[in-house]
Amino acid sequence: MGEPKRGAHILAVLKHSGIDIDHSPIDVDPKDQLKFTPSDYDAIVIRKSYSTIGDRLAAQIRDAVKQGTGLLMTGGWSTYTGRNIDGIFAGGYKGTPIEDALPVSLLNTDDRVNETLYFTINDRKSYRNIFGDDMPDYDKAACGCNETMPKKESTIVLSGTQAQYKYGKVIFSATYPVLVTGVYGKGKTAAYTSDLSPHWAGNIVDWQRDKMDRTALAPGLELGNLYIRFCTRLIMSLGSQN
């Protein structure tokens, strides 16, 4: 049956949760993206490189967020600054209109942290506001994130501490912001610097209360119900109706 395609997890979650979505595949020509009107949407989720968006659409997204559209960027090798390939960054968002709207500033260098990260809640009130009082503490580990710098007046909701197994024990070192929220104009914004789909997602896709707390969303795609709730409520929190 094979592995689900990258991005299949979050798309399946949103459809399952009854959220009306329009999905732009990663291989769409930027000129065709101009048919997309950002201000028509409650929230926009960015999961692909800047080269697939282009300057014109990026400026439209920034302006739509300023007027009240929500914005979320998730992490990966091709978002934020991203992987350095012979001097060209695969994400490419540094110095763009999208960076203007995000609650974090981006690095000028390859920003990937390809290490195991153990997450902790930094701001419990914000965590509850986003995910609800019935959401347990986030106790999962991820396989990496993009390093960013939270902007002034943004909120670090979740952090990830780098962990390496050395000399027969786990050694904790640097800590990175993983979920940062903010406001740009009238729009709510969030930077989730790990990923919501493998491989950086780690075992968040299996986040559940017990072994039976899972839902099959598609052939070969069975996900933990707490993961489904986490993704849905994060995106819903950015909409203009919340």
Q: What was the pLDDT predicted at 5? A: 56
188 domain residue, yes or no: yes
Q: CB neighbours (10 Å) of residue 131?
A: 19
182 domain residue, yes or no: yes
133 domain residue, yes or no: no
Q: At what angle do helices 225-236 and 124-131 cross, to 10 degrees?
A: 100
Q: What is the pLDDT along the chain (242 residues), one digit of tens a residue?
A: 334 455 688 889 999 999 988 887 655 565 565 567 889 999 999 999 999 888 999 999 999 999 999 999 999 999 999 999 999 999 999 999 999 999 999 999 999 999 889 899 999 999 999 999 999 988 778 999 999 999 999 999 999 998 877 778 778 889 999 999 999 999 999 999 999 988 899 888 899 988 889 999 988 889 999 999 999 999 999 986 66
For 190, the domain range is: 8-112+145-157+177-236
Q: What was the pLDDT predicted at 171? A: 81
Q: What was the pLDDT predicted at 4? A: 47
242 domain residue, yes or no: no
83 domain residue, yes or no: yes
Q: CB neighbours (10 Å) of residue 210?
A: 8
Asked whether 98 and 62 are in contact (CB, 8 A), the reply is: yes
Asked whether 106 and 148 are in contact (CB, 8 A), the reply is: yes
Number of structural domains found in the chain:
1
With tokens 């942290």, the residue in question is 113
Going by C-beta distance under 8 Å and a sequence separation of 6 or more, which residues neighbour residue 2?
A: 220
Q: What was the pLDDT predicted at 25? A: 66
37 domain residue, yes or no: yes
Going by C-beta distance under 8 Å and a sequence separation of 6 or more, which residues neighbour residue 105?
A: 99, 148, 149, 150, 151
Q: What was the pLDDT predicted at 34? A: 52
With tokens 């110095």, the residue in question is 95
138 domain residue, yes or no: no
Task: Provide the 8-state DSSP code for 135.
Answer: P
The domain that holds 190 is classified in CATH as 3.40.50.880
Global pTM reads 0.91
